[in-house]
């Protein structure tokens, strides 16, 4: 059997941070070039650097942290769709079939409060976008509260340019970090399982 693997993650250090977030950086802690026995790198970044998931704690005071996000929500079969613009009611009927509960959207998409409420109604447990965030300046907080309040995992900063529409197996597990509101991930899609 032939298995296709699609790396849908963006490289952390070459990606501009979301406005106001810390810029990612790194420095040599130990360096073999300086005579140390090994290389160890010290990392600086926000919890939402690069391709990442939002945990409920991101917008909810007592929400689950990154370590408590159920892994079954971050891996499993998903549907990849191509779409640009604001998600309206016509979007759902054509794209959520056969019990899909994870949806990745390729394109410049706006998820507003109505779209977020539909994601709850259709029992999604993960929504992934290429944008750095869901919502826009007028509704970003409310969209996050709706999705995260219903424990829908938000996967942001995806790179789906090489991925056709269809069904894939997604693996995008957060790092096991307690009391943290999000986590970078190495998100991959598998086709051919």
Residue-by-residue pLDDT tens, the chain, 193 positions: 679 999 999 999 999 999 999 999 999 999 999 999 999 999 999 999 999 999 999 999 999 999 999 999 999 999 999 999 999 877 876 666 667 899 999 999 999 999 999 999 989 999 999 999 998 889 999 999 999 999 999 999 999 999 999 999 999 999 999 999 999 999 999 998 6
Contact 174, 69 (CB under 8 A): yes
Which one from 48, 52, 58, 144 is the annotated catalytic residue? 58
pTM comes to: 0.94
Q: What is the pLDDT of residue 94?
A: 67
Residue spans of alpha helices (H) in 122-190? 140-149
Coil, helix or strand at residue 126: strand
118-150: buried (b, 16+ CB within 10 Å) or exposed (e) per residue? bbeeeebbbbbbbbbbbbeeebeeebbbbbbeb
Residue corresponding to tokens 């130990």: 30
- In eight-state DSSP terms, residue 145 is H
Q: Give the model's pLDDT for residue 97.
A: 61
Q: For position 96, what pLDDT does the model report?
A: 67
Do the strands 25-30 and 109-110 form a parallel or antiparallel pair, or are they unpaired? unpaired
Q: Rounded to whole angstroms, how far apart are CA atoms 1 and 40?
A: 38
Look up residue 135 and give its two tokens: 């919502």
Q: Please give the pLDDT value at position 98.
A: 67
144 is catalytic: no
């Amino acid at each position: 059997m032939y298995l296709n693997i699609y790396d849908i993650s963006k490289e952390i250090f070459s990606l501009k941070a979301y406005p106001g977030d810390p810029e990612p950086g790194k420095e040599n802690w130990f360096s073999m070039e300086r005579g140390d026995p090994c290389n160890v790198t010290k990392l600086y970044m926000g919890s939402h650097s690069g391709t990442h998931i939002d945990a409920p704690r991101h917008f909810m005071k007592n929400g689950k942290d990154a370590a408590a996000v159920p892994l079954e929500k971050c891996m499993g079969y998903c549907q990849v769709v191509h779409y640009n613009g604001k998600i309206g009611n016509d979007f759902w009927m054509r794209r959520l079939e056969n019990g899909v509960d994870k949806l990745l959207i390729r394109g410049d998409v706006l998820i507003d409060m109505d779209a977020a409420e539909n994601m709850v109604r259709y029992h999604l447990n993960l929504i992934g976008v290429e944008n750095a965030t869901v919502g826009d300046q007028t509704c970003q907080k409310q969209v996050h509260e709706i999705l995260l309040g219903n424990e829908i995992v938000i996967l942001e900063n995806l790179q789906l340019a090489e991925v056709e529409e269809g069904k894939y197996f997604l693996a995008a597990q957060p790092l096991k970090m307690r009391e943290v509101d999000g986590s970078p991930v190495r998100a991959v899609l598998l086709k051919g399982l």
